[in-house]
Structure 1
Amino acid sequence: MDLTGPGPARIGVFGGAFDPPHVAHVALARAAVSQLALDELRIFPTGQAWHKSNQLTPPDDRLAMAQIAFGGLARTVVDDRELRRPGATYTVDTLRELVAQHPHAQIFLVMGQDQAVAFPSWREWQAILAMATLAVAARPSAIAAHDHPGLPAQARVQPLALPAMPDSATHIRQLVARGEGIAELVPQGVASYIASHHLYQRT
């Protein structure tokens, strides 16, 4: 993807375990590309997430599911660098790499409301704010009220309008373990991958 055009590039960063990626993740990615007028959205399946106490599905499976879920979206690239990075994965390290590669780009860190609430617990969050604008998914009512609970006052925040989508990856894994259907909750290709690779089933 060519980011050398006139003016600074607008690059979005969207990270997560994607275990599995579901329709809300895809909707957020679409909203980010459209509403932020991004030149590129980079999807980062996390490696060893410092805040995750449960064991994640193997990296190769999560990368494959992310490529299936996001591969057809315009101006979107799945980036595996966090999966290849040894040790715990921190967003600040990924942002520093991107800034070094694209020093004049505008960086937007895309996140859901749950991540925004937890943001002050992230490693070097002050450094993250110096490098990126936070693009936070919110319901239209929260956007109208400029409601960004938990974010530091100095944060540059760009809200992303999204309808309520309550399903979580945890819930989807539980449904699969119980043998229940998830066809409406994840992209079709992701559902097929989960079934064919026997992911999330009780052992």
Structure 2
Amino acid sequence: MKIGIFGGTFDPIHIGHIISVMEVKLKFGLDKVIFIPARQSPHKETRPADDDDRVLMVEKAIAGYGDFHLDRVELDRKGVSYTYDTAVYLKEKYPHDELFFLMGTDQYKSFEKWYRFEDLLEMMKFIVMMRHSDDMEIASPFIRADQLVVEVSSTLIRRRIGEGLPFRHFLDASVYEYIKENALYETQSST
């Protein structure tokens, strides 16, 4: 089986995540994709929303996709989320499957700073999801994925919410309702 791995803070998960992942899944014939919310990214300093809120939003966003799944491995592990530790866990859980880590160009650019990055290259394949605005070469063994992209970010959504601007069109309806019902991000600074 070919399994895609898609990690992130998902703070919040948005349609750009879902569209990009689905397009890569189709293009590369992945059998399923596992969404892995991070507790604390070693490359981000901002504190994400509550873990349970982020998990519920991911569950709501992927509910209609039978081949999208959620794994709490990084949330259940204490401390910083290293991709290496998650890869070890996934290799043990899926010993006979081929793993494909889905990443953006920002992650690709900083890959050599990742904990045990050379070991990671031996453990799974890496697909770099390109944005339309990206103009860069992707070196082997990384795999370039030119796919349909919606240029939206969680940062933009949080800023819009904090400023009282429309943001509904960036989210799955159930995620939008959850954010509104729970007044998430309303105290976010507009910076």
Q: TM-score when scaled to structure 2?
A: 0.91
Separation in 1, partners of 2:149, 2:99: 26
2:99 aligned residue (107, 115, 120): 107
1:58 aligned residue (30, 50, 62): 50
CA 191–102 in structure 1, closer or farther in 2 if over 3 Å, else same: same
- Could you say which residue in structure 2 is the equivalent of 1:18? 10
How many corresponding residue pairs?
188
How many percent identity over aligned positions?
30
Q: Are the aligned partners of 1:11 and 1:41 in contact in 2 as well (CA < 8 Å)?
A: yes
- Report the residue type matching 1:77 in the other structure: H
2:145 aligned residue (145, 160, 182): 160
Shift of residue 87, structure 1, vs aligned partner: 1.1
1:147 aligned residue (120, 133, 137): 137
Partner secondary structure for residue 170 of structure 2: coil
2:121 aligned residue (123, 129, 139): 129
Separation in 2, partners of 1:42, 1:138: 20
Structure 2: tracts of 5 or more residues without a match: none
- Could you say which residue in structure 2 is the equivalent of 1:4? none
Structure 1: tracts of 5 or more residues without a match: 1-8
Partner secondary structure for residue 169 of structure 2: coil
- Could you say which residue in structure 1 is the equivalent of 2:36? 44
Partner secondary structure for residue 48 of structure 1: coil
Q: Are the aligned partners of 2:20 and 2:149 in contact in 1 as well (CA < 8 Å)?
A: no
Separation in 1, partners of 2:66, 2:24: 11
Separation in 1, partners of 2:93, 2:129: 27
Separation in 2, partners of 1:146, 1:118: 14
1:192 aligned residue (162, 177, 189): 177
Aligned pairs for 1:23-34 within 5 A: 23-34=15-26
Partner secondary structure for residue 11 of structure 2: coil
Q: Deviations over 1:127-168 (max 9, x none)?
A: 1111111111125797xx9822xxxx5x42222222343221
Q: Are the aligned partners of 1:22 and 1:187 in contact in 2 as well (CA < 8 Å)?
A: yes
Shift of residue 178, structure 1, vs aligned partner: 0.6
Q: What is the alpha-carbon root mean square deviation over aligned residues?
A: 2.0
CA 159–177 in structure 1, closer or farther in 2 if over 3 Å, else same: same
Q: Are the aligned partners of 2:23 and 2:148 in contact in 1 as well (CA < 8 Å)?
A: no
- Could you say which residue in structure 2 is the equivalent of 1:80? 72
- Report the residue type matching 1:56 in the other structure: P
Shift of residue 77, structure 1, vs aligned partner: 0.5
Q: TM-score when scaled to structure 1?
A: 0.85
Greater than 6 Å deviation, 4+ residue runs: none
Shift of residue 36, structure 1, vs aligned partner: 1.7
